[in-house]
Amino acid sequence: MQKISKLGVLTSGGDAPGMNPCIRAVVRTGIYNGLNVVGIRKGYQGLIENDMYDMNPRSVSNILNLGGTILKTARCLPFRTDEGMETAYQNLKNQGINALVVIGGDGTFTGALRFSKKYPDIQVIGVPGTIDNDLYGSTYTLGFDTATNTVVEAIDKIRDTADAHDRLFFIEVMGRDSGAIALRAGVCCGAEAILLPEKATAIDDLIANLKGGQNNKKSSSIVIVAEGDKNGGVYDIARKVQQEIKFYDIKVTILGHLQRGGSPSAFDRVLGCRLGYAAVKALLRGETQKMVGLQANYIKMTSIEEALTQHEFKLEEDLMEMADILSI
């Protein structure tokens, strides 16, 4: 087992609240254990461009409450090529870095796994940072709790105006491949319907549901649409419903990237600290090509390959059934 001398940390792909607490934990845990720690800006792009700097405990002061990532992030197409990876590897060797903590989602992990297999002398540990909560091996990913709270707060405000005007609101939330945010927000806010990528909902069934709500004297209705729903975009869905339902004034709201921003919740701050700490400890034990995750409130290790190949994240069936029952 090689001895780690210098540790690099980067964030890649979409940003997520909780990344900064994780960076802080990586830096301070590494330094506490006698490691030099290097921050890599803009993810894999920073590896290729050699955009790195030495970090110390003060480099991560007062960042627990900050959204986004102080290391910046980017999606880097050149890193997918052999030439790009070779450049990144040589930059790491020149810097004396022989271990990496990569914080991100499935795209980040795909690049990390390929790089680590190509250059096994660089140990790599992944931290699941994505608001979509769609990585196998961790019950919760960094940013999911904060993003869900942001959506709930927005929908609560929309409900007020919907009720005041007898309106039907279609609200699109992030989740191209995962309905995790939509499902939890829908349960929290009492949505009349939740359209998910994981569950087919026919437009006719949606219309019948909304008509039933009107017959039950509902003064407003909220339909939450995950952006990856199989019925298409939220505007197309609203248009189809409008053709059959005339008793509601129909409005559409796309929450968009506000779901990524904001100060991380207490849960995401603690989770970021735990995962960052665990990632460094795993590297010190000589582990590599693994992801640290939270399972049953304990930190568990999962191979990055398994986290990617078991990518289909199952939504809780009881929540989906309950959402239908409680919306009558």
Side-chain-side CA neighbours of 110 within 13 Å: the count stands at: 14
In 3-state terms, what secondary structure has residue 24? helix
Q: H or E stretch including 29?
A: helix 19-32
Sheet strands (E) in 205-324: 221-226, 249-254, 290-295, 298-303
Question: What type of residue is 251?
Answer: K
The answer for residues whose C-beta is within 8 angstroms of residue 296's C-beta and 6 or more apart is 139
Q: Is there a contact between 63 and 24 (Cβ–Cβ < 8 Å)?
A: yes
Tokens of 218: 């509902």
- Cα distance between residue 203 and residue 2, in whole Å: 58
For Cα atoms 232, 233, 239, give the angle at the middle one, nearest 5 degrees.
100
Q: Would you give the distance in Å from CA 192 to the centre of its chain?
A: 25
Residues 104, 275: Cα–Cα separation, whole Å: 12
Identity of the amino acid at 324: D
User: Residues near 24 by Cβ (< 8 Å), separated by ≥ 6?
Assistant: 60, 63, 64, 272, 273, 276
**Residue 288: Cβ within 10 Å count:** 20
Catalytic residue check, 324: no
Can you spell out the DSSP letters for 186-199? HHHHT-SEEEBTTB
Q: CA 165, CA 146: separation in Å to the nearest integer?
A: 29
Helices (H), 37-166: 43-49, 82-95, 106-118, 144-165
List the catalytic residue out of 15, 132, 229, 268.
Answer: 132
Q: Which residues are catalytic?
A: 132
